[in-house]
Amino acid sequence: MTASDSNPTAAWPEEIFDILKRAEVRQVGYVPDAGHSRLIKACQGNPDMHTVSLTTEEEGIALAAGAWLGGQRPALLMQSSGVGNCVNMLSLAKSCRFPLLTLVTMRGEWAEFNPWQIAMGQATPQALEMMGALVYRVDSPDQVADTVEAAADMAYNGDNVVAVLLSQRLIGRKQWVK
């Protein structure tokens, strides 16, 4: 079975990619995710960006720390179900004051078909905030560029942990097909 999103022509993944390029992001860690698939492919196709497929989301925070110590700007792409895996490691970013921009595709919201996704989907904003992250939410395509650009500025110009939650309504209804 494969997942397909209901709006494959939406331009928001390309808008995010353009913002990452303008922000001079050079390291992109990600856990494979259908919601981020177009953004991941765009990053992989850019010779100025090094992409790293992670086995678990908290590895992305360590990757971001290493990138920053090496003089490069990092970004982390993950799904809301992985935020719970990162709670302890988020203290590293906050304590060491290095920038972390994470883009989180949300699950457990509008039109969710998998009940296992609901609990972490509901807890994601609060978990991030409790660990000191600034959290911004995007519900429609017209909010993407402004929100991600503001989040990148807050992260890279202020050494903040900033998460942009890309709502399930924005991503589109997941449909499972054989």
Domain that holds residue 89: 2-177
Q: How far is CA 107 from CA 10, 24, 69, 90, in A?
A: 18, 29, 32, 20
CATH number, position 132: 3.40.50.970
Residue 102's pLDDT band (cuts 50, 70, 90)? very high
pLDDT band for position 24 (cuts 50, 70, 90): very high
Q: pTM score, two decimals?
A: 0.92
Question: What is the rounded CA–CA span in Å between residue 177 and residue 57?
Answer: 27
What letter would DSSP give residue 55?
S
Pick the closest to residue 138 from 125, 120, 153, 157 (CA basis).
Answer: 125
Overall domain count for the chain: 1
The whole-number pLDDT of residue 114 equals 86
